[in-house]
Structure 1
C-alpha cells in the first residue's frame, strides 16, 4: 500500500531545529517487506518474539519448529492473556508510517529495516488493538489498560530519541504532559 504523507520536521523535546522537507511516499515494503530470520534457524522475528515472551511452554505448527502455534502471552495494552499465537500482532510501539512522517523518510532502506525489527520497538499485542492504534502516536492513541500508559509513552519517546526522529512542538508538549499525569 502506498500513501502520500507530508513530512514536516519540527522542534522536538530533544532540541532538533525546525526543518521543512518535501513530501515523500510511504511504502511499507521499504521498511518491512517480511519478517527476517537473522540467525537462519527458520524462526523469523515474529516467532522469535513469541518464543522469547511466552509465559508458558510453546507448541509449534509442525515438527520443524519454525512457526509458533500456542503459548501464553500477556498483552501489555489490555492486560489480557492470549494462548493462540494467531491472536497476536507484533506491534511497532512507534509505527513505521509515523516514523516515516517524523524523519525516517530520508533513511536508507537498511536503517528502515533495522527500525522495523528493533526488539525495543516491538510488543506482542491483541491483533484488534494493534489495528485500532494504526499509525498513531501517544497524542492520538493510548493503551486502554491504564497501568501501562506511562510505560508506553516512555518507550515511545525512547525509540524516538534512539533514532533521532522529530516531534512537533504540540507533540512534545502532549508527550511531556502524558508523562507527568
Structure 2
C-alpha cells in the first residue's frame, strides 16, 4: 500500500471518529501528498474508539511521575535512541555519544549539534495526563514516556513554543496534516480522549489537507 493510500485511509478513520463525537469534516479530503510526511503514514490504527469529552483538568501532573529516558542497552537511553533512529549520517561513539544531522519536523530547521535538540513527546505528558491517564500506573507512565513512536527530535525553540498545548492552541510550522493525524493515532492507541476545541482544530486542519 502506498504512503498516499495509507494516509487517506487514516484520515478517513479520523473522519469517522470525529463524526461519532458529533464533529464532521467537510470538503474534499482527497490528499495529493502535499505536506503529508512519514508521520501520517506510520501504521494504520483503528480510530473508532476515540472519545470527545472535556479535559480532565483535575488530573494531577508532575513530570517526575513519568520516568523517562530509560535505558535501551549499550549505554544508550530512550533519548539517545530517538536521536540515533531519526537522524542522518549517524555515528555512535563511546558512552553513546551521538553525532549526525537532524531535521526538526516542527519548523524544518536542520541541526547538526544534538545538544540543540529537544526530544519531544508528540502528545505531551501533561496532555496525556489530562486525556484519560489519571489512573495509569507508574509502569504505564514509563512505557509511554519512552515509547519511540511518540518521541521526536525537534529544535529546542519549537518545543518550548509548543509546551504542553494541544492542536487547538498550537500547531507546527511544517506538515500540519501529518502532525494532527499522528496525534489522533497516538491518542487512539493509548485510549486517550480529545476535548471539543481539540477536535474542532483537528477538523479544521484535515479539511485543508488537499
TM-score interval for Structure 1 and Structure 2 normalised by the shorter chain = 0.7 to 0.9
Alignment correspondent of 1:159 = 186
The one-character-per-residue Cα deviations of 1:89-144 (angstroms, maximum 9, x if unpaired) are 10111000011011112111111111111111111000111011000011110111
Q: Secondary structure at the match of 1:104?
A: coil
Alignment correspondent of 2:71 = 37
Alignment correspondent of 1:137 = 166
**Residues 18 and 80 (structure 1 numbering): CA distance in 2 closer, same or farther, change over 3 Å?**
closer
Shift in Å, 1:180: 1.5
**Corresponding position: 1:121 with 2:121:** no
**Matched positions, count:** 163
Shift in Å, 1:17: 7.7
Larger relative contact order (C-alpha < 8 A, sep ≥ 6)? 2
Aligned with 1:92 (options 121, 139, 143): 121
Gaps of 5+ in 2: 1-20, 24-48
> What is the 5 A alignment of 1:1-181?
14=49, 16=51, 23-32=58-67, 34-38=68-72, 40-58=73-91, 60=93, 64-68=94-98, 70-145=99-174, 148-181=175-208
Distance 2:55 2:201 in 1: 21
**Residues 18 and 124 (structure 1 numbering): CA distance in 2 closer, same or farther, change over 3 Å?**
closer
Greater share of strand: 1
Q: Secondary structure at the match of 1:173?
A: helix
4+ residue stretches of structure 1 with deviation over 4 A?
17-22
Q: Secondary structure at the match of 1:57?
A: strand
